[in-house]
Amino acid sequence: MENLTEKKSIEKLLFTYRDALNNSSIDSVLPLYTQNGVFMPSNAPTAIGQEQLAGSYGYVFSNIQLNIEFFIEEIGINGDLAYARTNSKGTTKIHATGETVPEENRELFVLKKVGNDWRIYNYMFNKTK
């Protein structure tokens, strides 16, 4: 039963992250990461820690508007560490051109329990199309 509760907590974190992305909200993204969290976006530098995360997401949100949905494929938990393998699909609006294009990725989240809450410890994604 405890594992089910932990999985539900992780699912909630992932969907909260999706909402923060769709709202282009740095203020909503940052608390979802650990203090030394790592973001490894495709074709961009790795961001480590809250300051670099803010800069990286600021850059992303200034260039695009996401409208995506996450589909959770797998969640594994081992003590205070967990992983989630997901896929996302939706659209991206490119601010520079106003064009809206399909968006499809696969993601890997490494999560860490901080106190009673799960946080993103490492996050990487790449395009599937």
Per-residue pLDDT at 111 exceeds 90: yes
Does this model's pTM top 0.85? My answer is yes
Q: Which of 101, 27, 32 is nearest to 63 (CA)?
A: 101
The answer to whether the beta carbons of residues 60 and 41 sit under 8 Å apart is yes
How high is the pLDDT of residue 2? 67
Kindly tell me if the per-residue pLDDT of 1 is higher than 90: no
For residue 61, the surrounding DSSP H or E stretch is helix 49-63
Instruction: Tell me the pLDDT tens digit for each residue of 55-94.
Output: 999 999 999 999 999 999 999 999 999 999 999 999 999 9
Q: What is the mean pLDDT of the chain?
A: 96
pLDDT per position as a tens digit, 39-59: 999 888 999 999 999 999 999
Share of the chain above pLDDT 90, in %: 92
Structural domains in the chain?
2-127 (3.10.450.50)
